[in-house]
A = this chain, B = another copy of it.
Amino acid sequence: MNKKILMTPGPTNVPERVLKAMAYPVMHHRTDEYSALFGEFSERLKYVFQTRNDVMTFPAAGTGGLEAAVINLFSPGEKIIAVSIGVFGDRFASIAQQFGVDVEKIDIPWGSGADIDAIRKAVRDEHTSILVTHNETSTGAYNDIREIGKLAKEKGLLFVVDAVSSLGGLELKMDEWGVDVVISASQKALMSPPGLTFISLGEKAWDRAAMSTIPKYYWDIKKARDYMKKEKPQNPYTPAVSLIAATNESLKMIQEEGIENVIERHSNLAEKFRIEVEKMGLRLFVQNGYRSDVVTSIDVGDGAARLKREMEELHGIVISGGQGDLKGRIVRIGHMGCVDEKMIDMTVNAMQDCMNRMQGA
C-alpha cells in the first residue's frame, strides 16, 4: 500500500486523526453509543452545510446522492433545467433523464462556468427546478451558486446543487443563498475516505418530495429523516459506522479551524498555485473568473499523460488527467481538504522538475 500524496480532485488526503478514528472497533448501530455519535455527526454536517435543515447520510458514492435527489424530488415527465459545464453536470442530467424526468439541458462550453443570461433565456414557466454542479472537477471551473440562486428564486425554481466536490472547499451558504437541496460526499474537501453521501433539503424541497412519484426504497429520504428524528438518532438500514466515525473527526477538524477560515485557506492556496503555474509558462485551462479554488486544470497539450505518470513515479504525487474530450490534453490538480502551503510548494517543485525533463527530452 502507498503513502503517496493525493493532489487529485478527490479522493483526497485523509489526516491521521481521521484514519485513527476509522480504525476503532466497529460499534453496533442500534446502541446508545452509536446514536450519540450519529447525532453529533449530523449536527456537525449542518454546520458545514451552513444550514438549519437536517442533513441525511447514506452509505454510497456521491453519484448515489445525486440519484437520491432526483428520485425523491421529481416525477416522470416533470420538466426541469440542468446546467452542465462538464462530466458531472452531464451525469446529473443523465440521472434525471434515466428516471423519466424531462430535462432541458444547458451545455456550457467546457472550461467555463454558467453564464447567468444563458440560463435566464432557457427558463420557461413549465420548468419546476434547476440542477447545477457547484464545482466541476472534470474541468476545474465552478458555477456562481449565489447568483444562480437569485435567478432561481425570481423564477420560482427549486434549486438543487451538486456540492460533492465543493462543500468545505468553496463558499456555499445553503440557507443564506436560498439553495433548496445540497448534495455532498465524504471523500473530497471533507477529508474522509469515500463511501458516504449527504443530502439536505429545505422546506420547499420537502414539499416537493411529498409529491414525487418515482419509486424509492433505499434512497427514501423521508424514512431516513424519520429515523434521524427519533429520540435516539438512527438509520433505517445498517450505516457505514466506521466511515461515520472517520468523517465525524474530519468535520470536527473543520469546526476547530472554522468554516470561514477553511474556505479562505482554499482560496489563498488556489491563488498561490495558479500564480506558480502561470510562472512556469503553463496555460490554465479555465477562463478567468470561473477558476475553481479546489481544483486547477492545466492545458499541457500532448504532455498530459507523461506529466501525470512522472509526477507519481518520480515524486509520489498523484494528480489526475482529463476526462471525456479532455483526456490526454489537460492535467487536473486538486487542492481541497487537507492541503497546506507545503503541499502546494512540493507540487509546484515536482511539476517544474517534470516539465524540465520533458523539455529536455
**Interface residues, chain A, with chain B CB atoms under 8 Å away:** 1-4, 6, 8, 10-14, 19-20, 22-31, 33, 58-64, 67, 94-95, 98-100, 185, 187, 193-195, 215-218, 236-243, 245-246, 312, 318, 320
Contacts and interface: CB of A to CB of B under 8 A. Distances in A.
Among A2, A19, A100, A217, chain B packs the most CB atoms within 10 A around the CB of A217
A27 B23 CA distance: 16
A64 B218 contact: yes
Contacts of A22: 22-23, 242
29 contacts: A2-B25, A3-B25, A6-B28, A11-B28, A11-B29, A11-B238, A12-B26, A14-B25, A19-B24, A22-B23, A26-B187, A26-B193, A59-B59, A59-B64, A59-B240, A60-B218, A61-B237, A61-B239, A63-B238, A64-B237, A67-B217, A98-B216, A100-B215, A187-B238, A193-B240, A193-B242, A194-B238, A194-B239, A240-B243
Contact of A59 (B20, B33, B195): B195
Given A60-B60, A217-B95, A318-B31, A19 B14 contact: no
A305 B25 CA distance: 24
A198 B27 CA distance: 22
Q: 9 tightest CB-CB pairs across the interface, nearest first?
A: A195-B240, A23-B23, A61-B237, A193-B242, A63-B237, A1-B24, A67-B218, A61-B238, A194-B238
Contacts of A95: 217-218
B59 A194 contact: yes
A60 to B, nearest CB: 5
A345 B344 CA distance: 55
A243 B215 CA distance: 29
A316 to B, nearest CB: 11
A2 B27 contact: yes
A98 B214 CA distance: 10
A215 B219 CA distance: 14
Given A2-B25, A11-B29, A242-B246, 4 more contacts: A11-B27, A59-B61, A61-B240, A195-B243
Nearest to A334: B28
B318 A28 contact: yes
Contacts of A23: 19-20, 22-23
A30 B194 contact: no
B217 A99 contact: yes
A11 B31 contact: no
B26 A6 contact: yes
Nearest to A70: B217
B26 A14 contact: yes
A195 B29 CA distance: 12
A2 B26 CA distance: 8
Contacts of A237: 61-64
A236 B4 CA distance: 23
B11 A19 contact: no
A12 B29 CA distance: 11
A332 to B, nearest CB: 11
A41 to B, nearest CB: 13
Nearest to A29: B11
Contacts of A4: 25, 27
Contacts of A240: 59, 61, 193-195, 240, 243
